[in-house]
Amino acid sequence: MSCEHLVCAQCAHPVIEGRCPLCRANRERMHNHGFAGLSPALIGLLLVALLLLTLAAEHLLLGA
């Protein structure tokens, strides 16, 4: 969902403009993507790094 077409119930202006505190808060809430404030790209990068670390650890354990 996008806030481009939403109208604020408090100030009756488009939410995307952020004219009142309620508009700004809702715009920030709607534009906050990801998990715990992390972007989806960063989450994907962390998952790939975790996979590589797991594979490296498995290779070291099996090779010893």
Distance CA 56, CA 64 (A): 12
Q: Which residue has the higher pLDDT, 11 or 30?
A: 11
Kindly report whether the global pTM for this prediction surpasses the value 0.75.
no
Q: Tell me the mean pLDDT in the region 22-46.
A: 80
Residues 28 and 1 both lie in one domain: yes
Residues 2 and 22 both lie in one domain: yes
Distance CA 41, CA 35 (A): 11
Q: ∠ CA 6-7-13 to the nearest 5 degrees? A: 130
- What's the number of domains the chain is made of? 2
Q: Tell me the mean pLDDT in the region 9-27.
A: 88
CB 52 within 8 Å of CB 59 = no
* Two structure tokens written together for 17: 């403009």
Provide the domain limits for residue 61. 36-64
Q: Tell me the mean pLDDT in the region 37-63.
A: 89
Residues 5 and 28 both lie in one domain: yes
> Counting runs of H as helices and runs of E as strands, what totals does the chain give?
2, 0
